[in-house]
Amino acid sequence: MEDNVHIDKLQVDAVVGPDFWDRKDPQRCFITMKMLTDFNKAAASDDLRYSLNYAVISNDVTRFINSQNDWGSLGKASRMTSNYLISKYQGIKNLELSLQTKTAHVRCDDISAVVDTRNQDYDILRISNFKLLTLLGVFTFERLRKQFVTIDLELPWTKDSLHSPPYKGIIDNVAEYVENCNFKTVESLAESVAKVVSLDKYFQERPGLPITVKIIKLNAITNTDGVGVSCQRTSKELESFQLSNKAVPSKGTKEFDLPIYSDEIKTNTDDRWNKAYLAFGSNLGDRFQNIQLAIDLLKTNPQVTVNQVSSLFESEPMYFTNQNLFMNGCIEISTNLKPLELLKLCKEIEYKELKRVKQIDNGPRTIDLDIIMYLNADNEQVLLNDSELTIPHARMLERSFVLEPLCELVPFDLIHPLTCEPLTSHLSQIYAKGNLEDQLWKLIPLPTINGHNRFLKFKTVEKFDDFTGKTTMVSQSPSYMMCVLNTTPDSFSDGNEFYHNLDKQLDRVQHMYDEGLKLHDSIIIDIGGCSTRPNSEQIEQDIELQRTVPLIKAIRSRKDWEQEKIIISIDTYRSQVALKTIEAGADMINDISGGTFDASMFDVVAQHPEVSYVLSHTRGDISNMVHMAKYDDDGLESGDTQTKEFMFYQRLPSKTGTNVIRSIAREISDRYSWALLKNVRRWQLVLDPGLGFAKNGKNNLQVIRHLSLLKNYCKFTKDGEYVNFRNIPILVGPSRKAFIGKITDEPDASKRDFATGSVITSCVGFGADVIRIHDYANCSKAIRMADAIYKGV
């Protein structure tokens, strides 16, 4: 049973030390008292000494406070008032008295000295609602600007000390430290504040006193007033705690700065190799050759293995904008070099081998190699904060030209070790800002002609789908038109008597050139010397070469054509035909077999990293593929529970309706992995789902409808490999094919062009980037309209 008498916030005016302008003027103070008493004792004795009349006590306290012109400190005033009440009123068994002022410090509007007679060791100086701006958090948006936090401090004040701890100096020290440093976690901030307080002379002389710190982030979680943490530490407990000196980035900088405190590098001590990711960039000279040379130099080092290289991207310069466009990408390597040793190798390649001259930070360069992430052999991310090197790279989270290629190589759920947020989320946050300088163009290199560096260019952006509610990658650049030029007598739709007449063939190229360039900046001419229609008779390789090589040379010899606008593709599955036509002037290899018909095809492609390769899907061979159009099962090996497939970075719980595209994606991904193992570069690749090859009419329609699923496919294999089709363009070739004739009841392939126009429009709408067609004059118009409707270009 406990009886109390309460007086809440009795207003008095007193000099209790300097106010927030350091003037010795009276301050409005509020006294709150909780007096433990015994009502029964006063009632039984009817003795006024035991009666606690709050009106009388309020008047007494007011007179007592007014009896002094200057109390000297808030603590002295509260302690003396408490002693006065205890001595005068025998009915007060225990007293808790709080003397509060809102004008003692300009940074804090609530400071109280709390005296409690039940605590024999110390009373409390309470600093509440101390509001500061600081850089705090691990999410991207939190690192872009300071945010408000409130700090509450409870500072013990020993009974043998008349004056409370010097709150003015403590508040100033905490404010200066917090507002000039930055923190990943609120826990780190709380303990750092406790450390700053503990360094005050008052607590250094009293190392056992518990300092209580409470931190509240005011805007961290919606639907709350704030969330945070509290801790209690003594100066003795904080002796080994080291304050960070990680300063807030200077005003105006765009650096996405994260503090890294780790001084230890956890790498392997055994003979297993680590993994590192390097970002590269070049904007001087032949950018592509600079990058190629840098990769080759990495490969020559016995302590480095180049595992894979991302696509190439063209980006606007950042920070120093008055310079050429950059070509960027990322490299994944295995190495037994430690981070600083790897940094030394990168700098040797930059400055010694490629003669980089650094005139200003972020300025023009022949090559730049940055270590952006480093993982040990146990796949644990290494953190490093050295004067020469910071890992992860301090600015990677603000750069789309680093994150985009990196997200091609690393699993989509890989988190940044400091933010604990997936890298793909950070990239989406960059794109969500809508800054034009963050948008990238993917580049597929082509052989140089007449001094012109040539590329196929594709822009893919993240777009929110109003219907699905998902954010996906979609094409937003003009589609390329691939014009069919067969030099065969037996092609399914345009075999003709002039297949061996070079002049007639050049006349047709002239017409393609004239018509195609009316609406397109360039045209792709796909030359085929051997029919690949199902069940067709396959000619000898020499005949195929006789049909194609002279034509390619003749096209390249024409001085009246802008050669840089003519992209020559060779439709072949033979590696030697690919090689000889490349030497004659071909830019692309369009292989309907995905490298399955000729084991040397990938070797030829790898030897020519400036040549594009269309990686197509098929099954079986020319003679039996028509019998292999069954896609009812999921195609995974029996008992394989480790391979996991994703589309749009999500597992699809049901395979109904997606078996065809899932099977195609899985089988192309196997060929993709094999191509990379044979040193084909990702930047060379275009995907073709292979309409009509080992697919029936229904399959073809499903493929067209699900092209976006193919573009957003990725998988984890049971061996731990990650395959991702992000940013790889898609080519489709529906032109005049049998499934169109069956639907339109048109047996004559040459009369299916009108219907083909509607199909290719749908292909563009579903995400195709390159369209292979026969009727180039009319289909170019259909492609242009589809681009305007579906891509806004």
Q: What is the CATH number of the domain that holds 420?
A: 3.30.70.560
Angle at 483 between CA 478 and CA 486, to 5 degrees: 165
Same domain for 677 and 570: yes
- pLDDT tier, 596 (very low <50, low <70, confident <90, very high otherwise): very high
Same domain for 310 and 278: yes
DSSP state of 788: I
Same domain for 193 and 230: yes
CA dist., res. 395 & res. 402, Å (int): 9
Query: What is the token pair recorded at 169?
Result: 């100096």
CA dist., res. 600 & res. 576, Å (int): 8
Same domain for 639 and 498: yes
Same domain for 203 and 335: no
613 within domain boundaries: yes
634 within domain boundaries: yes
Q: What is the pLDDT of residue 765?
A: 94
CA dist., res. 257 & res. 249, Å (int): 7
Residue with more model confidence, 709 or 139: 709
Same domain for 132 and 113: no
Same domain for 168 and 106: no
772 within domain boundaries: no
pLDDT at residue 536 is higher than 90:
no
Q: Which of 103, 118, 133 is the last residue of a domain?
A: 118
- By percentage, how much of the chain surpasses pLDDT 90? 64
Same domain for 127 and 107: no
Nearest to 36 by CA among 80, 1, 77: 1
Q: What is the pLDDT of residue 252?
A: 47
- pLDDT tier, 402 (very low <50, low <70, confident <90, very high otherwise): very high
| Domains contained in the chain, number | 4
418 within domain boundaries: yes
Same domain for 327 and 185: no
pLDDT at residue 214 is higher than 90:
yes
Query: Residues 44, 62: contact at Cβ < 8 Å?
Result: no
Least confident piece of the model among 260-269, 319-328, 576-585, 590-599? 260-269
pLDDT at residue 492 is higher than 60:
no
- Average pLDDT for residues 480-500, to the nearest whole number? 75
Q: What is the pLDDT of residue 196?
A: 96
Report H helices in 500-574.
502-519, 541-556
Determine the 3-state secondary structure of 200 from DSSP.
coil
pLDDT at residue 422 is higher than 80:
yes
Question: Domain with 101 in it: what CATH number?
Answer: 3.30.1130.10
Residue with more model confidence, 390 or 675: 675
Look at the pTM and tell me if it is higher than 0.95. Answer: no
771 within domain boundaries: no
457 within domain boundaries: no
Query: What is the token pair recorded at 346?
Result: 């990168």
Residue with more model confidence, 636 or 645: 645
Q: Which residue range is the domain that position 408 belongs to? A: 274-444
Query: Residues 532, 792: contact at Cβ < 8 Å?
Result: no
- By percentage, how much of the chain surpasses pLDDT 70? 88
Length of the chain (residues):
793
Which helix (DSSP H) or strand (DSSP E) does residue 113 occupy? strand 111-116
pLDDT at residue 324 is higher than 90:
no
Question: Domain with 502 in it: what CATH number?
Answer: 3.20.20.20
Same domain for 597 and 684: yes
Same domain for 399 and 338: yes
Measured CA distances, 716 to 669, 677, 713, 722 (Å):
11, 17, 11, 5
The DSSP annotation for 710-753 comes to: HHTEEEE-TTS-EEE-TT--BEE--TT-HHHHHHHT---GGG-H
Residue with more model confidence, 237 or 469: 237
Query: Residues 178, 134: contact at Cβ < 8 Å?
Result: yes
Q: Which of 396, 428, 444 is the last residue of a domain?
A: 444
Chain mean pLDDT for the chain: 88
- Average pLDDT for residues 348-368, to the nearest whole number? 79
211 within domain boundaries: yes
Nearest to 664 by CA among 612, 597, 725: 725
Give me the half-sphere count of Cα atoms (radius 13 Å) on the Cβ side of residue 613: 32
CA dist., res. 4 & res. 37, Å (int): 6
Same domain for 147 and 40: no
436 within domain boundaries: yes
Give per-residue pLDDT as tens, 12-63.
999 998 888 888 899 999 999 999 988 776 665 555 556 788 899 999 999 9
CA dist., res. 14 & res. 76, Å (int): 12
Query: Residues 471, 463: contact at Cβ < 8 Å?
Result: yes
